[in-house]
Amino acid sequence: MRGVVLKSRDVSQARGAADYVRYLATHDALTGLPNRSLMLDRIAQATARAHRDHLHVAVLAIDIDRFRMVNETLGHAAGDTLLRQVSERLRQATRDIDTVARVAGDLFVVLLPAVEAPGLAGKVAERILADLRRPFGASDSELHVSVSIGMSLYPQDATGAEDLLKYADAALHAAKIDGSGDYRHFRPRIDRELRERMALEGGLRRAAERGELVLHYQPKVDLATHRVRGAEALVRWRYPELGLVQPSRFIPLAEETGLIMSLGEWVLRAACTQLRGWRDAGLELNVSVNVSARQFQQANLVERIVEVLDQTGVDPGWLEIELTESSVIEDAERAIASLRKLKEHGVRVAIDDFGTAYSSLSYLKRLPLDVLKIDQSFVQGVTGDHDSAAIVKAIIGLARSLGIEVIAEGVELQGDVDFLSAWGCNQAQGFYFGRPVPSDDFRRLFGASL
């Protein structure tokens, strides 16, 4: 008798353990929500049923914006608490038949298994966005977060569970790229763009070491003498499959991914090495290098620049750093401090694309600048458009009253040159005088007019 009891207890224990193991294998320990593998099962079941009942299935991938910052600034315990609270709120925002899962870090997935019309899924996404915008935590330590959502639909976008999840995730990435806090529905274009982006990012990571980066140089011409005074170094990427890629296609990506730090360092070193070579050959010119906003925020940027100058034997006064107006006004106080340091070392500083970012004149006076570069969008209008002409005249006047040089960018026509000369602009740069070209061509074409 005793043996039988024991035996049955063994069985029930065994069943309990097996259930528990299965539970662990299909749920997330932190939130108790289904995990990725259970979510995939549920999606597969839902699509089978929806096929039969002529319904739609929606898969929503939801990610907390800047979650890493919560972890880093408030600690992992606070991060965990937030994840639990988000999972709770997602459960409240959905119906019983819906499934909420946590599939990775701060990535949640909501499955809507029976959607009558595709538009209704968007409504749910909007409700979730709104629900999660309400603050989290106790009243004395309120935490505001936002989420981004990507959505895929069965049967429009895909029929397999893996694909639906993958496409929701792709749409989520697209939502993040567009700016956080919103939702995006999957489109085939998103998939293609994301693939391209990933290929580009992978390639860019190795571009410098594979020798695929090159600098082109565009002349900067003195408008009084028409002699070349300097060159702007502009980076290009020889990407095997795409040919010569222009910076507008990869600089933003490099900024987003942080690759701009190493890329910027490569550009600076290559430009300084070239400059040293030209100076050794008797060419009296300056070279300017573009520094992106993100690089400019780097704490030790000035030290890095000085180090490269030392190593390449370049006189600081031969180098000009170009910063866009927007990157300077983003954090004006810090910018002023960095620029002062650069100045102390004797490096020249130019504000690029001037006129596009509404900087206030009061602190422009406090910036230790050597050059203002008038944005090409104004320069290209000077002969036809009254507003552009007025802006260009005003910038020239402003630069003169501050005692700094002014360069017009994007000069393409004789008429532009005449206008700029008449109004006292110091230098010009543009296709009229020369396009950006490789260093050998630069010397061949412009060496004599230096």
Site for Mg ion in 64-123 (CB under 5 A): none
- Determine how many CB atoms are found less than 10 A away from the CB of residue 150: 26
Q: Which two tokens stand for residue 407?
A: 């360069």
325 near ligand C2E (CB under 6 A): no
265 near ligand C2E (CB under 6 A): no
436 near ligand C2E (CB under 6 A): yes
Contact 231, 217 (CB under 8 A): yes
Q: How far is the CB of 435 from ligand C2E (least distance, A)?
A: 7
Residue placing its CB nearer to ligand C2E in the complex, 74 or 253 = 253
Scan for tokens 């020798």, then name that residue. Answer: 211
Candidates 106, 265, 320, 353; binder of ligand C2E (CB under 6 A) is 353
Alpha-carbon distance 53 to 210, whole Å? 55
247 near ligand C2E (CB under 6 A): yes
Contact 232, 322 (CB under 8 A): yes
Q: How far is the CB of 419 from ligand C2E (least distance, A)?
A: 14
430 near ligand C2E (CB under 6 A): yes
Candidates 132, 145, 208, 251; binder of ligand C2E (CB under 6 A) is 251
Asked if residue 240 has a cis previous peptide bond (ω within 30° of 0), the answer is no
Alpha-carbon distance 427 to 407, whole Å? 5
> Which partner, ligand C2E, Mg ion, none, binds residue 82 by CB below 5 to 8 Å per kind?
none
For strands 371-374 and 319-324, give the pairing: unpaired
Q: How far is the CB of 151 from ligand C2E (least distance, A)?
A: 34
Q: Which stretch binds ligand C2E (CB under 6 A): 5-13, 172-180, 241-249, 394-402?
A: 241-249
Q: Which two tokens stand for residue 42?
A: 């549920």
Alpha-carbon distance 236 to 212, whole Å? 8
Site string for ligand C2E, 393-412 (x = CB under 6 A): ----------------xxxx
Cα pseudo-dihedral 253, 302, 211, 202, rounded to 10: -30
- Determine how many CB atoms are found less than 10 A away from the CB of residue 426: 22
Residue 141: partners with Cβ closer than 8 Å, 6 or more residues away: none
Q: How far is the CB of 400 from ligand C2E (least distance, A)?
A: 22
Amino acid at 417: V
Residue placing its CB nearer to Mg ion in the complex, 79 or 410 = 410
Tell me how many degrees the CA angle 415-420-422 measures, rounded to the nearest 5.
95
147 near ligand C2E (CB under 6 A): no
Residue placing its CB nearer to ligand C2E in the complex, 121 or 228 = 228
The number of C-alpha atoms within 13 Å of 314 and in the hemisphere containing its C-beta is 32
Q: Which two tokens stand for residue 445?
A: 């074409």
Q: How far is the CB of 328 from ligand C2E (least distance, A)?
A: 13
Site string for Mg ion, 343-362 (x = CB under 5 A): ---------xx---------
Tell me how many degrees the CA angle 99-105-108 measures, rounded to the nearest 5.
20
Q: Which of 118, 71, 109 is nearest to 91 (CA)?
A: 109
| Terminal C-alpha separation, the chain | 108
Q: Which stretch binds ligand C2E (CB under 6 A): 86-94, 137-145, 146-154, 243-251?
A: 243-251
Q: Which two tokens stand for residue 44?
A: 């597969």
> Which partner, Mg ion, ligand C2E, none, binds residue 34 by CB below 5 to 8 Å per kind?
none
Site for Mg ion in 264-293 (CB under 5 A): 290
Candidates 87, 292, 312, 327; binder of ligand C2E (CB under 6 A) is 292
439 near ligand C2E (CB under 6 A): no
Q: How far is the CB of 406 from ligand C2E (least distance, A)?
A: 15
Site for ligand C2E in 21-80 (CB under 6 A): none
Residue placing its CB nearer to ligand C2E in the complex, 45 or 356 = 356
The residue length of the chain stands at 450
Q: How far is the CB of 387 from Mg ion (least distance, A)?
A: 19
Contact 266, 208 (CB under 8 A): yes
Alpha-carbon distance 324 to 290, whole Å? 8
Using CB positions, name the residue nearest to ligand C2E.
Answer: 430
219 near ligand C2E (CB under 6 A): no
Q: Which residues bind ligand C2E (CB under 6 A)?
A: 218, 234-235, 246-248, 251, 264, 267, 290-292, 322, 352-353, 376, 409-412, 429-431, 436
Q: Which residues bind Mg ion (CB under 5 A)?
A: 290, 322, 352-353, 409
